[in-house]
Amino acid sequence: MTGGNKIIVPFGSQHIALPEPVSFLFTTENEIIKDVEVDVGYVHRGIEKAAITKFEFTNVAYLLTRVCGFCSITHASGYHHGIEKLLNVEVPKRAEYIRMLVVELDRIHSHILANGHVAEVVGYENLFMQSVRYREKVMEILELVTGNRIQYDIYKIGGVRKDLTPEIVEEVKQKLNQLKNEMLKIYDFYDKDYTFGLKTKGISYVSYDMAKEYNAVGPIARASGVDTDTRKEFPYLPYDEIGFEVQTMSEGDVWARNMVRQKEVLHSIDLCLRIVDNLPEGDIATKVKGRPKGEVFVRVEAPRGECFYYIKGNGSKVLERVRIRVPTYSNIPLLKELFIGERYSDAQAIVLSFDPCMSCTAR
């Protein structure tokens, strides 16, 4: 690999610009990246194996939610929707709405931080600080609704574990309205700021065909104009009842990915407000009997894209197979392709515009 004027630059597994451990080996020639190797298995913990040996199907969800801090609700929803299909459980409407509220709130806080990180690595520290300051409000709402800031554990087989009281609904509404104003302010900075645009516009362009060919998911695909969203394609929660729309852009660069996320944040806030306004009355959980038998797959929309769950049960307490395919993993081939020909100084912005979630990917 060495020879000539090629230099190998390691980026990660632990790097000051990386929020999570992923390792890249860049072969560069005068700042231009010529080749790259990716290793995603730095934080492998063997969770899939543990899920089919040490845990029963009733408490394996508590293990799976701890796969990742950001997507904890994604993994909970993936697992529970699958196991409810296997057990033929009808979930009450109110429970579904509460689930939807927490899923959307989780998406908001994840997107705000992802965008903030991009701003940070392109050298726009005060935008990052401002984003994180506003993000705190979402965390407070989540703490109010579920009782915890990161590990929500609100899902349970057959419903949810905690109900929304009128006081909580009132407070959630008030805080969401405040947050909406603040996010509109932040939206302007991402949209119109000249210096932010210099480092992000036109960098790592992904065309519509390329996104389709490399099977990109989530905000990355949507930024290139691919109209894909699991919330529309695989209705695991009643999104059509509250008027969900897919947010797309056509530019396909780092800036567009940020803007898609920012648009989704604003749309998710709207969705949350509609959910708490139209909360149906009724029970929050049904009783569940039986043991899972057969196989099922579920697709859920994580903040980073489509998350795939495959569950197989054989009628006993312990499941036979739990397979997770997370959005970051399906975006890595595209990411690898994008680096070639770009400057090394843009590498950090490209990685973070993909919003990689490594603890999900390595499990």
Partner 1 sequence: MIKMFVESFKNLFNKPDTIKYPFEPSPEPKGRFRGTIHYNEELCIFCDKCENICPPGAIKFEIVDIENNKREYNYNPYLCIYCGACVDECPKADEGCLIQSDERISPLGRELPKDKKLGYLINRVSNPKEFEKAWDELEIRAKKSRDEYAKFKKQQRLSKQKNKSTLKNT
Torsion of CA 273, 274, 279, 280, to 10 degrees: 180
We find the least distance from the C-beta atom of residue 125 to partner 1, in angstroms, to be 10
Cα separation of 12 and 162, whole Å?
40
How many helices and strands (H and E) does the chain possess?
14, 8
Collapsing DSSP to helix, strand or coil, 58 comes out as: coil
Q: How far is the CB of 144 from partner 1 (least distance, A)?
A: 6
Residue whose CB is less far from partner 1, 11 or 190: 190
Q: Which C-beta is closer to partner 1: that of 51 or that of 347?
A: 51
Nearer CB in complex with partner 1: 126/345? 126
CB of 158 to partner 1, least distance (A): 11
10 Å Cβ neighbour count for 167?
A: 9
Choice between 17 and 139, CB closer to partner 1: 139
Residue 223: how many other CB atoms lie within 10 Å: 27
Among residues 153 and 301, whose Cβ is nearest to partner 1? 153
Between residues 182 and 241, which has the closer beta carbon with respect to partner 1? 182
Distance CA 251, CA 158 (A): 42
Give the list of residues 6+ apart from residue 246 with CB closer than 8 angstroms, or none: 222, 227, 228, 229, 231, 232
Strand segments, DSSP code E, in the chain are: 6-11, 23-29, 32-39, 155-156, 159-160, 293-302, 305-314, 321-325
Dihedral angle computed from the Cα positions of residues 305, 310, 311 and 314, in that order, rounded to the nearest 10 degrees: 180
Q: What is the DSSP letter of 19?
A: S
Quote the least distance from Cβ 331 to partner 1, whole Å.
30
- What does the binding site for partner 1 look like in residue numbers (CB under 8 A)? 55-56, 58-59, 62-63, 66, 124, 126-127, 130, 133, 136, 143-148, 151, 153, 156, 161-162, 188-189, 193-195
Residue 151: CB minimum distance to partner 1, A: 7
Nearest distance in Å: CB 130, partner 1: 7
In a 10 Å sphere around its CB, with 0-12 CB exposed, 13-18 middle and 19+ buried, how is residue 301 labelled?
Answer: buried
Q: In angstroms, what is the minimal distance from the CB of 321 to partner 1?
A: 19
Residue number with CB closer to partner 1 (5 or 192):
192
Q: What are phi and psi of 34, to 5 degrees?
A: -105, -35
